Structure 1
Amino acid sequence: MMSSTRLALATVHRGIAFEERSMQLLQQHLSMSLRRVGGRDDGGVDLMGWWWLPTPDFDPSARENLSKRRRIRVLAQCKAEKKKPGPHYIRELEGVLHRHISSAEHPLVALFVSTSPFTKATLLRAQSSPAPIFLLHLPPETPELEPGDDGAKNAIGTAVWNPALAGSRGLLGGKIEARWERSVSGSGRPGLWWSSSNYRLPSWTPDACEVPIEDAFDVHMDVER
């Protein structure tokens, strides 16, 4: 039997590994450049950084606009737990956002990433929240499967955000959709789509282009409230 100390260390290592995996996926597919800030005094924030999204006047047919982005501050929590996250996690996220909003120079979004799916009560709480919230269920990476066992391979994630973030009067003005995209092989990934033209937005961050974040672009924050 594993000692309590070894069990605690294993839990910490699993959490850190999931945070690292989440950061990589968010940059590759959702245009987020985040860094780890988790620790004893993290204030309930595991990851923090920027979300680089097209300006409201974005035109998918004009390729020169693909890298014209505005930035939104992201505060994220990551949970690598077998138990489904309950609605109390949403209340914690709202508290985290409230503590940061008074000193924020940019709009804020709360992101919750979980290896387990969300309960119905959690989804309902997020949908009714006045805070912009993004929920991402990121299933565990596929382990080695026994012959004939395809259960883990077919695990499907979800990408859900609430009206305060994605609604017509929300932070994104109803212009962008989050989808969980699934391939014929059974693997999946989250993606962003421009609603009016059903156009998949390519992921972009200044980090990937080796451009300093502060000098990347003249950032416009004109969003419908």
Structure 2
Amino acid sequence: MRLLGLRHGLAAGYSPLSLRQNNRRCFSSSQVHRELTPFTRRLFKLPSAPAPPSQHHHDLTTFLSYAGHISLPVTSTVHVGTHYEYTVLQTLRRYALSLDRIGGRDDAGIDLVGTWHLPERERERALRVLVQCKSLKTKLGPNVVRELEGTFRQAPVGWRTGETVGVLVSPREATKGVRDTLARSAYPLFWMMIERDGTLKQALWNARAEELGVGLLGVETRYGTTEGAESGSVTKEMVLTWDGCDIPHMDEVEKQLIEFAEQWVASWDINLSETQKGELLDVAERVLPHDVSAQLLDRTISDADRKKVIQALQERIEQQPVSE
């Protein structure tokens, strides 16, 4: 059983200048967070996020504000754990992971859930992701891998699929026991070392994960320079890549999903309300043969099938009672 992802892309010994010259950045990285509409989620068959565990915060900024408001000690386990979970969530958006925090009493050991929108996988549905964050100072043993395996059986509705991966995240490097257990696991698993400031330092995954189509995923070493008091010192981090290129930021992915959904609706050449967009999907999946309805995102439906869908949709709308 192989443990993949140990390659770090660029070899040590290169100067920071030559490393920057060898980086291939093939994707846009504009960062404007956009909420996906229920229709867009349905079109791409993305699960709805479970209810958040807190009404007081939803990201790192709002959590820090709330923690300050209630004078939550920064050394408390609640502050340290929640801060780390939001840091991981924020860091992984850089690599096209859309995650929501669900930690709480009934989280079944899961801290974050979401979807991973790796390039070239979108039409085959984004990977489902279960994340456990282990913000501990002590070394982690193989038991944490077995604990992560258990979350697959207790995953929320929408994450109980054959396209789900588990991710263990810790500010500590994976021990030999952890690496060996990952390699032997029958589940698709990842290990990521993310420091408390959000810097990615290590990424590993097993052969079972590679079977889900992540063969083009890679890891590279990137160097840079610091700013401020220690300006000029060299920094080092790992970055995930896809076929040698930067993975698009989740903000860019969301923008593309929204634009595609708008174009998909426009391709039917009919004016629809937000509710009727969902009804269009219902009708298309009911009227079209299964092998055709499964290819709705490809927009290669014949004119005859298109007319059938539009006619059925119009009949459905006409049968609805008129609200007063």
How high is the TM-score relative to the length of structure 1?
0.69
2:164 is aligned to 108
Deviation beyond 6 Å, 4+ runs, structure 1: 6-9, 216-220
Verify: 1:181 aligned to 2:230, yes or no: no
Q: Which fold has the larger relative contact order, with Cα–Cα distance below 8 Å and residues 6 or more apart in sequence? A: 2
Paired residue secondary structure (1:75):
strand
- Counterparts of 1:202 and 1:35 in 2: how far apart (Å)? 19
Contact 2:188 2:207 in 1 (8 A): yes
Question: % of aligned pairs identical?
Answer: 30
- Counterparts of 1:219 and 1:43 in 2: how far apart (Å)? 34
Structure 1 residues 17-166: aligned runs within 5 Å: 17-28=83-94, 30-55=95-120, 70-100=125-155, 104-105=160-161, 107-141=163-197, 157-166=201-210
Paired residue secondary structure (1:124):
helix
Tell me by how many angstroms 1:179 deviates: 1.1
- Counterparts of 1:111 and 1:135 in 2: how far apart (Å)? 6
Cα deviation 1:133-187 (Å, max 9, x = unaligned): 0110012329xxxxxxxxxxxx971011110012xxx11262x223153314213
Structure 1 portions without partners, runs of 5+: 1-5, 57-66, 143-154, 221-225
Paired residue secondary structure (1:209):
helix
- Counterparts of 1:24 and 1:8 in 2: how far apart (Å)? 19
Which structure has the larger Rg over C-alpha atoms?
2
Contact 1:70 1:219 in 2 (8 A): no
Tell me by how many angstroms 1:68 deviates: 6.7
Structure 2 portions without partners, runs of 5+: 1-71, 225-233, 265-295, 299-324
Contact 2:117 2:253 in 1 (8 A): no
Letter in 1 for 2:112: L
Candidates 198, 213, 216, aligned match of 1:172? 213
Tell me by how many angstroms 1:44 deviates: 0.9
Letter in 2 for 1:92: E
The structure with the largest helix share of the pair is 2
Contact 1:27 1:203 in 2 (8 A): yes
Distance 1:10 1:210, change over 3 A: farther
1:201 is aligned to 247
- Counterparts of 1:46 and 1:120 in 2: how far apart (Å)? 24
- Counterparts of 2:75 and 2:235 in 1: how far apart (Å)? 32
1:60 is aligned to none
How high is the TM-score relative to the length of structure 2?
0.50
The structure with the largest strand share of the pair is 1
Tell me by how many angstroms 1:106 deviates: 6.0
Tell me by how many angstroms 1:219 deviates: 6.9
Distance 1:219 1:15, change over 3 A: farther
